[in-house]
Structure 1
Amino acid sequence: MIRSPERIAAADVLRGFALLGILLVNMRYFSSPALYGDTIKDSGFDRTVAAVVDVLFEASAYPLFAFLFGFGAVMMFRRLSSRGERPIPILLRRFLLLLGIGVVHAFGLWFGDILIPYAIAGFIMLFFFAAPPRWWGAAAVAVFFLFRGLMALLMALSMWAGGTETVGGHEAEAAAAVRHYQSGTFGDVFWQRWHDWAYVNSDGGLMFTVLTVLPFCLLGGYAADQRWLEADRHSPAKLRRLMGWALCFGLALKTIPYWIEANDLTVYIQDSFGGAALAVFYAAAAVFVCGKQSWQRAWRWWQDVGKMSLTHYLAQSLVCTSLFYGYGLGWYGRTSAWQETLLAFALYAAEVWMSRFWFARFHYGPVEWLWRWGTYGARPPFRRRPGQ
């Protein structure tokens, strides 16, 4: 299957937008022990800023990246097959390299790594490449609703039986995180990072994350076969209708904890179902925008960022941990939600500018270039020649 310019543009624009959403959500975890409880200041402005980020981006950005991960894997499989190459060994090597990058990221920079679950989901996807495309779509729907429906049911039963009904905190763990990240040594930071990663991923947590992203990866693979991201495949009216329904449904679900009650069940529904619905809105909006050639100057900025999203994702962790951890400026636990959000936008603006500067001189982002080299076993061109 030949990729059209519109399709490539929509995928990269979506990556670029998702990168902003990921940064806005992650900033709270970079800067405070939010993993262990509510860290939002009591001011109304801070609460409002945090609520906007929560509703618009929490659990809506990572499904886009997972979707595009599966999308890209299927496109790569088809491209390699059309050239007469054996795609499975190459894809296996690609996923192994991603796993290695994720391990270095998780234990060398930040505990909130998502690359390890993506790599594991990639290994699972390898079993689907010999299956008909409809299997990808059917498996995506089945895994999504069976897994998430079962989790919601278990939470409802737990609450009915008198289980915990509110999202609680862990004061001792939060205090330790502040102490180690804010003023600890490299060793203190490393072991705190290890503890945080284990807190999230032990006792089935890693498999939970894999099952969370897997249906979006499978759906992305199905979308590649159905050419969903090609703008000329959809009428503007159809895209507007999809955007309208997804936005309304997504916002209704994402605001449930704000107009009912914030507990384990409502937050899970908010993130699992509301987040997915808003992700559909963002994906449809990216295709709609990329179908407007007169808007190219605007969406080209998102596209350039998306082309080197892995580099930017890792750079975000490097910059933010340097700002917030004790071996840097030591801002951990000392900033408010509005300051963190402002910092996220400033960092993203710098990434946008750097992307335009970079692609005027190079073919790939630096990490993408290394990843591609390791995947294919041959060094790809890096620097652009004059006139390219």
Structure 2
Amino acid sequence: MSVRYKSIDSIRGFSLLGILLVNMPDFYSPHLYMSQEKPFSRDIASFSIDVLARASFYPLFAMLFGFGFMMMFENARKQGHSFSSMYRRRLVGLFLLGCIHAFLIWYGDILISYALCGAVLWFFKDASVKRLLTSGLVICLIPVFIVTSLLVVSGDTTEETGLYQHIIKESFETYASGTFGMIVHQRLQDWLYLNNIYSVPFLFVSIFPFFLFGAAAAKARVVQKVENYVLFLKGTLLLSACFFLLGKLLPYIVGENAVMRYVHDSIGGPAGSLFYGSFLLLILRKKVGQKLMSPFAAMGKLSLTNYLGQSVLSTLLFYSYGAGLYGKISTLEGIGITFFIFWVQMIVSNWWMKNHLFGPIEWLLRSFIRRQKQPWKRAEIEQN
């Protein structure tokens, strides 16, 4: 594997740690609704997750999706292959996996959104780097400016409490002691709460611009020619660090309200993605950084398997049809469980990739895309 592409896998693997860290409270508690009652906690564990991870790793993952899309397109064009049919099957495959994930495993799925936003990304396959960046900035910044302005002008900076107590109680009862059928019903309710007609535009502007940024990075060959972009990456690192810290810390300084919540997630979160992405690309230029991040590469290579595996392991650990620890875990214990699961996945991923070409889910998706069974083990390639 090229050192440069291994760098992308390392960043992807690192982002899986941040994603699990943010998702963990939603696995073991009705955090989805509790955060609406009190979005920002003052205990050090919750504060650390809010500042370092919340709303910062899904955009980073989205940039990597956009990067992969453009690399696939460029490679297919060079080789004279038809990209459209394979890409359509890729989106269908992601959508089907997302449905299985969202409705049978865990409601916080992102694959359905990626598949739908990915369909729009198709129209940017021939776009220039300038158009990709400009379109991404417009789609990202204009809604942020409009919504923030409306929230400020409205003067409605207070938060109503007690609105979610009934559903919080219901979630506790269902996930902790309900039947599988009851859990499926609750899961559907939670998914619809996240993916309703009002939230879809916000989901789009929180995902799609980062597809475009990742596609622009691939088209500009930032990873392959990283030394040519050192000054740009350092500038991005410094600028994003300012917005990252300001956006994330402002709610704790000014106070909790609708404006601060939006600033935290829509400005601080994406700025954090740019900070982590540029920082990792800079350290991965050096052999020390490559060696340090090398264990993450196998995680990134099996990103789809590990992403779904995190949900399977966590729901089995917390839901009533598993160990039944739902509602019995503190934030600090949740962080410990996060690192333990990730550590186990990292060990298994590195062991798996010694003998296999793809992860199990990646192999299924690749076989579906290419409409034929793909090689499974490295030995199969060596024999041929």
TM-score normalized by the length of structure 1: 0.92
Q: Offset of 1:68 from its aligned partner? A: 0.6
Q: Offset of 1:152 from its aligned partner? A: 1.7
Find out whether 1:338 has 2:335 as its counterpart. no
**Which residue of 1 is the match for residue 5 of structure 2?**
8
Find out whether 1:19 has 2:13 as its counterpart. no
1:231–1:261: structure 2 CA closer, same or farther, 3 Å change rule? Answer: farther
Find out whether 1:95 has 2:91 as its counterpart. yes
**Which residue of 2 is the match for residue 156 of structure 1?**
152
| More moved, 346-355 vs 228-237 | 228-237
Q: Offset of 1:231 from its aligned partner? A: 5.8
| More moved, 149-158 vs 259-268 | 149-158
Q: Deviations over 1:88-112 (max 9, x none)?
A: 1211111111011101100010010
Q: Offset of 1:235 from its aligned partner? A: 6.2
How far apart, CA to CA, are the structure 1 residues paired with 2:163 and 2:308?
28
Find out whether 1:37 has 2:34 as its counterpart. yes
**Which residue of 2 is the match for residue 380 of structure 1?**
374
**Could you tell me whether the CA contact under 8 Å between 1:250 and 1:274 is conserved in 2?**
yes
**Which residue of 2 is the match for residue 288 of structure 1?**
282
**Could you tell me whether the CA contact under 8 Å between 2:175 and 2:326 is conserved in 1?**
yes
**Which residue of 2 is the match for residue 108 of structure 1?**
104
1:40–1:206: structure 2 CA closer, same or farther, 3 Å change rule? Answer: closer
Find runs of 4+ consecutive structure 1 residues off by over 6 angstroms: none
1:28–1:39: structure 2 CA closer, same or farther, 3 Å change rule? Answer: farther
**Which residue of 2 is the match for residue 61 of structure 1?**
57
**Which residue of 1 is the match for residue 118 of structure 2?**
122
Find out whether 1:326 has 2:320 as its counterpart. yes
| More moved, 337-346 vs 133-142 | 133-142
Paired residue for 1:194, among 175, 179, 188?
188
1:49–1:31: structure 2 CA closer, same or farther, 3 Å change rule? Answer: same
**Which residue of 1 is the match for residue 138 of structure 2?**
142
Q: Offset of 1:253 from its aligned partner? A: 1.4
Paired residue for 2:362, among 368, 372, 375?
368
**Which residue of 2 is the match for residue 226 of structure 1?**
220
Match of 1:113, SS? coil
Q: Offset of 1:228 from its aligned partner? A: 2.0
How far apart, CA to CA, are the structure 1 residues paired with 2:158 and 2:329?
30
State the AA in 2 paired with 1:123: A
1:13–1:165: structure 2 CA closer, same or farther, 3 Å change rule? Answer: same
1:227–1:327: structure 2 CA closer, same or farther, 3 Å change rule? Answer: same
Q: Offset of 1:219 from its aligned partner? A: 1.1
Q: Offset of 1:238 from its aligned partner? A: 5.6
Q: Offset of 1:288 from its aligned partner? A: 1.4
How far apart, CA to CA, are the structure 1 residues paired with 2:128 and 2:93?
27
How far apart, CA to CA, are the structure 2 residues paired with 1:168 and 1:157?
25
**Could you tell me whether the CA contact under 8 Å between 1:109 and 1:317 is conserved in 2?**
yes
Find out whether 1:209 has 2:206 as its counterpart. no
Q: Offset of 1:86 from its aligned partner? A: 1.4
Q: Deviations over 1:109-158 (max 9, x none)?
A: 00100111111110001112233342221110110011222222232233
- Runs of 5+ consecutive residues of structure 2 not aligned to the other structure: none
1:242–1:135: structure 2 CA closer, same or farther, 3 Å change rule? Answer: closer
1:386–1:364: structure 2 CA closer, same or farther, 3 Å change rule? Answer: closer
How far apart, CA to CA, are the structure 2 residues paired with 1:296 and 1:81?
30
**Could you tell me whether the CA contact under 8 Å between 2:7 and 2:290 is conserved in 1?**
no
How far apart, CA to CA, are the structure 1 residues paired with 2:125 and 2:293?
32
Find out whether 1:82 has 2:63 as its counterpart. no
How far apart, CA to CA, are the structure 1 residues paired with 2:75 and 2:35?
47
State the AA in 2 paired with 1:206: V
Find out whether 1:246 has 2:243 as its counterpart. no
State the AA in 2 paired with 1:333: G
How far apart, CA to CA, are the structure 2 residues paired with 1:190 and 1:55?
32
Match of 1:303, SS? helix
Q: Offset of 1:167 from its aligned partner? A: 7.3
Q: Offset of 1:14 from its aligned partner? A: 1.1
Q: Offset of 1:200 from its aligned partner? A: 1.2
1:371–1:156: structure 2 CA closer, same or farther, 3 Å change rule? Answer: same
Paired residue for 2:164, among 160, 167, 170?
170
1:39–1:139: structure 2 CA closer, same or farther, 3 Å change rule? Answer: closer
> How many percent of aligned residue pairs carry the same amino acid?
34
**Could you tell me whether the CA contact under 8 Å between 2:37 and 2:164 is conserved in 1?**
no
**Could you tell me whether the CA contact under 8 Å between 1:38 and 1:169 is conserved in 2?**
no
Find out whether 1:266 has 2:260 as its counterpart. yes
How far apart, CA to CA, are the structure 2 residues paired with 1:206 and 1:236?
36
**Could you tell me whether the CA contact under 8 Å between 1:6 and 1:232 is conserved in 2?**
no
How far apart, CA to CA, are the structure 2 residues paired with 1:48 and 1:250?
18
1:33–1:169: structure 2 CA closer, same or farther, 3 Å change rule? Answer: farther
